[in-house]
Structure 1
Amino acid sequence: MTVRFDSADPRLDPEPRRAALAVRANPGERRDYTVTLSQPLPIFSGPARGLQVTVDYVPDRHVLDPDSLTRYLAGLDRWIWSGLEALGLAILDDLNNELVPRWLRVTVSASATGPLEGLDTGRPRRQTVTLEDRQPHWSPAVWPPGGLD
């Protein structure tokens, strides 16, 4: 992973990324419910354009301030990520650290018109990376959280 500017490697020092994330008390701490936040990231450039991040989580003690997620995601453009996997893993780790949800799923999608994974057909393609994590021994009453689509 290459880093733009002279900032530290975001894998080694995640604090600059996490500083934008803000949480508040969960008003329904005794209940399991799903929160979904989705944000396009038009600020990213290069062959992967049209990035979309979707965060689904079951809160524990805290809920995420949606405006802080927007600021946090906008700040991720400071670094050049080696791929959607690296970007998604950073988001998952940062949200787990700041939010400590019962369950968390991060989905990062990109539409591309240039080379993606070494394939250059000139046709638009889509890549999606989905990552999940949950607290040990936590099991929802209904799976997946929020029911079936």
Structure 2
Amino acid sequence: MAKQHLTFTLNGSPVEVLVDPRELLIHVLREQLGQTGSHIGCDTSHCGACTVDMNGQSVKSCTVLAVQAEGARVLTVEGLAGPAGLHPLQEGFMQEHGLQCGYCTPGMLMRAYRLLQDNPNPTEEQIRGGLAGNICRCTGYQNIVKAVQYAAKKIAAAQGE
């Protein structure tokens, strides 16, 4: 099967790769583009460890064909931090002890990022509902919820709200 030329924006920078038409986005991100933050957890979209932001939506990159990213804007956990330092979500996970083994953390961070983009001031129930597609086997979720609340408050304070 002939490889296809694929161009998209990854963490704010244009990228070009050759992909097999059946290749999954998670494999292109990790193996060709060196973005290994997103993890392969289940290959069935149940765990959410592979979650990235694509064109303003959370997607599980283990079930997205790479060719579907043609022309897209893709943000991975590597793209969250900026010149000023950690993203408030990353800081929140650190300050509120929102991780243990860390395997689910990149997917949790990316899903929480989209959640806060769509709802900057979520309730605890909305946070839990918004993260329901991402599984953590270690933490019990309470500190993950606290981390998202921390980030929401920090982002609101930075915006003068």
TM-score, normalised by the number of residues in structure 2: 0.28
Greater RCO, 1 or 2 (C-alpha within 8 Å, sep 6+):
1
Using the size of structure 1 for normalisation, the TM-score is: 0.29
**More strand as a share of residues:** 1
Structure with more of its chain in helix, by fraction:
2
